[in-house]
Chain A
């Protein structure tokens, strides 16, 4: 495993969390995205014998992209990992949970956008 990628992902994720605490959501999202990329790079470099480590890092990479609100990237990555045969059960379970949450979040946002569009029209337009 690349310790550099792995360590960098952790540092970026910790920095993102601190930005969230300060209320800097945009900066946090960017840092989470960079952390996700570093973690995904670390996953590729994990030795074949370290399946648990690969599972942990895979879940981490997808979760970081989810926190970055890069939903499409997170979804693609999760499917890539799930299509592998040697992923441990705990990682499969957590990836499926994350996908479920991702789809719910996307649905929620889509409804919020639709509602906003309706509310921004005049009452008569809304019924047309």
Chain B
């Protein structure tokens, strides 16, 4: 595994990210958590939603790749690679997720939450209802909503790295322009490019 360095960020991750860093620097292969089992640790997900998001991710990934792949996850500009494995979707699953926008959005939920868990050891503690969907509040284990970060998620099916970066910049700018005083993370998943960009937004 080609390893790029990820630095532990104080309030973000503390010791847990150092574990990830240490594994990465030792050349160990990092594995993204199984997408269909996120609900076991992410209390903001039900089992049904977790499996549904995992299906969407599988369909979105299988359009471009064969399992497994190495996913590049970048947090605040520091990157690492992790192996992502999924079950190849059958025809029925592909037909059920024929709406590409829905599949990209829901697949991005699964991949973003798994990436946040791997790199920052934060899990979804509840949904953030929006008019059109739902983002998530993520926090370290044992933390409450009072100390959670809002994770704003976006997915891109076939854009290149610059398209993913542009999308992230838009999300970060929007978050900074508002009068929000809620700390947030923005995450963009590129399915073709095998890239996840995560950035902290401090307001």
Contacts and interface: CB of A to CB of B under 8 A. Distances in A.
A1 B45 CA distance: 20
Interface in A43-77: 50, 52-53, 55-57, 59-60, 63-64, 66-67
Question: Number of contact residues on A: which range applies?
Answer: 20 to 34
Nearest to A57: B145
Interface stretch (A85-93, A110-118, A120-128): A85-93
Contacts of B180: 89-90, 93
Contacts of B46: 10-11, 14-15
Interface in B6-49: 44-46, 48-49
DSSP class of A's interface residues: helix, strand, loop or mixed? helix
B178 A66 contact: no
Interface residues of B, number: 25
B49 A89 contact: no
Contact of A53 (B128, B134, B144): B144
Interface of B: 44-46, 48-49, 52, 102, 126-131, 134, 137, 144-146, 148, 178-182, 203
20 contacts: A10-B126, A13-B134, A14-B46, A14-B48, A50-B145, A52-B145, A52-B146, A53-B146, A59-B128, A59-B129, A60-B127, A60-B129, A63-B130, A63-B131, A67-B129, A88-B182, A89-B179, A90-B179, A92-B179, A93-B180
